[in-house]
Amino acid sequence: MADKTYNAYAAAQKQFDDVADLIKLEEPLRVLLRQPSREYHFTIPVKMDDGSTKIFKGFRVQHNDARGPAKGGIRFHPEETIDTIRALSMWMTWKCAVVDIPLGGGKGGIVCDPREMTPGEQERLCRGYIRQLSRNMGPVQDVPAPDVMTNAQHMLWMLDEYEVIHNGRYPGAITGKPVGMGGSLGRTEATGYGVIYTLREALKALGIDIASTTASLQGFGNVAEHAARLYTALGGKIIAVSCWDNKDKKAYTYRKADGLDIERLAAIKDPFGTIDKEKALDLGCELLPGEDWIAQDVDIILPCALENQLTVDNFNKISKQVKVICEGANGPTAPECDELIKKSNIFLVPDFLCNAGGVTCSYFEQVQCNMNYFWPREEVLEKLDYKMTNAFAGVYRLAQEKGLYMRDAAYVIAINRVAEAVRLRGWV
Ligand code: GLU
């Protein structure tokens, strides 16, 4: 996000425009779908622990709800921008459509740094956000969930505030809640597991045995950690993990040529994904510069942190050995870099397909909340695997049939589904 020349919204619109041309989408639909339907911008006053009051800036963007209520996470980040949220809300629409769940796309954000806030301050911020948004969200309007630097506790504080305002219990108003408080088993690991289900299918299609592969990861938040867990459980070896060090305010790559022990690495990270450097050295990790994760001689790279990480400037650092890029993050590849990937032999599992496991499990969470009956973890993960595997198969088949880049094939399916819903509703 630090790159001032990159604009995620411009990137999301460029991706959309290219595919709209390809499928000859009619003009009103283009105009409708290349921008959000609604957005809310507001201030959130929060009493800080030192007695002062700080005013935070919050956003919620609802890109499209033709297929169902808007759905998507709320991010906490000091460099959050409205354009990033706009882009992310668009990607949510395509994400829900590509896995064929009856939800639209939305996203929210607060400009803040939760790493520098006490739990009490974070709770008041969550409640303040909902006080501003409560009339324009809810189970049949727009359903928030966790995202970058937000977690199940934040979601429960938000839900509690919503329920106070609306005088009732509405567990379907927010997903990603704690298990036992309306949350679904499997939700925490769902996004990371979904990434690996699609990777497993991609490797099958390429005729590669996952147990013979190595990988390098960017990020060690919730998505990356659980992706790493399942990937290693399936026999893969993670050589490097890059993550932000909040003490030093820079990223490091932790490398171990014979494979990182993910359980032990997860045990020495803080809730926001900073790994304890000294303890990592004790585990025998080499400490390299943050950007070195991309240059490892591995078979698979998984950008699982933030947007705009694979660019024309670092593409040539990717090892010739890399066969698959699996986009666990939203928007990690800049559009100009897509052109380079297209010309290479690297197979891409595009973000809104690759990381759709989180929202798919959120949908299962809503279904369980509506029934007030909760499934065992195995059942949740089995249904998740089925959804992800089917979605991958659909995109892969279209890509093969029409000779399309995987991202474009995913867009063709998603845009067509949303466009059809808009037409059926009679909006255009
Ligand atoms: N924040 C996640 C995403 O970007 C999950 C959204 C949700 O569960 O609604 O897909």
Q: Are 326 and 202 in contact (CB under 8 A)?
A: yes
Indicate the CATH number of 34-171 among 3.40.309.10, 3.30.530.20, 3.40.50.620, 3.40.50.10860.
3.40.50.10860
Residue ranges of domains in the chain: 34-171, 189-349
Atom of ligand 1 nearest to the CA of 330: 4
Q: Are 145 and 358 in contact (CB under 8 A)?
A: yes
Cα separation, 69 vs 88, whole angstroms: 16
- Give ligand 1 pocket residues (Cβ under 6 A): 71-73, 95, 145, 147, 175-176, 330, 355, 358-359, 362
Pocket test for ligand 1, best of 67, 92, 354 (most atoms within 8 A of CB): 92
Pocket test for ligand 1, best of 191, 367, 368, 388 (most atoms within 8 A of CB): 191
Nearest residue (CA) to ligand 1, atom 8:
359
Phi, psi torsion values for 421, nearest 5 degrees: -60, -40
Phi, psi torsion values for 199, nearest 5 degrees: -60, -45
Provide the residue-wise pLDDT of the chain in tens; the chain has 428 residues.
456 689 999 999 999 999 999 999 999 999 999 999 999 999 999 999 999 999 999 999 999 999 999 999 999 999 999 999 999 999 999 999 999 999 999 999 999 999 999 999 999 999 999 999 999 999 999 999 999 999 999 999 999 999 999 999 999 999 999 999 999 999 999 999 999 999 999 999 999 999 999 999 999 999 999 999 999 999 999 999 999 998 999 999 999 999 999 999 999 999 888 999 999 999 999 999 999 999 999 999 999 999 999 999 999 999 999 999 999 999 999 999 999 999 999 999 999 999 999 999 999 999 999 999 999 999 999 999 999 999 999 999 999 999 999 999 999 999 999 999 999 999 99
Atom of ligand 1 nearest to the CA of 176: 8
| Burial class of residue 248 in the structure, from the number of CB atoms within 10 Å of its CB (0-12 exposed, 13-18 middle, 19+ buried) | exposed
**Span from the CA of 357 to the centroid of ligand 1 (angstroms):** 8
The fold adopted by the segment(s) 189-349 is Rossmann fold (3.40.50)
**Span from the CA of 77 to the centroid of ligand 1 (angstroms):** 16
Atom of ligand 1 nearest to the CA of 361: 8
Nearest residue (CA) to ligand 1, atom 9:
72
Residue type, position 342, single letter: K
Q: Do domains 34-171 and 189-349 have the same CATH topology?
A: yes
Pocket test for ligand 1, best of 76, 307, 359 (most atoms within 8 A of CB): 359
User: Of 95, 107, 237, 387, which residue is the catalytic one?
Assistant: 107
- Identify the CA nearest to 266 among candidates 226, 218, 236: 226
Phi, psi torsion values for 392, nearest 5 degrees: -60, -45
- Identify the CA nearest to 85 among candidates 65, 58, 49: 58
Q: Is 107 a catalytic residue?
A: yes
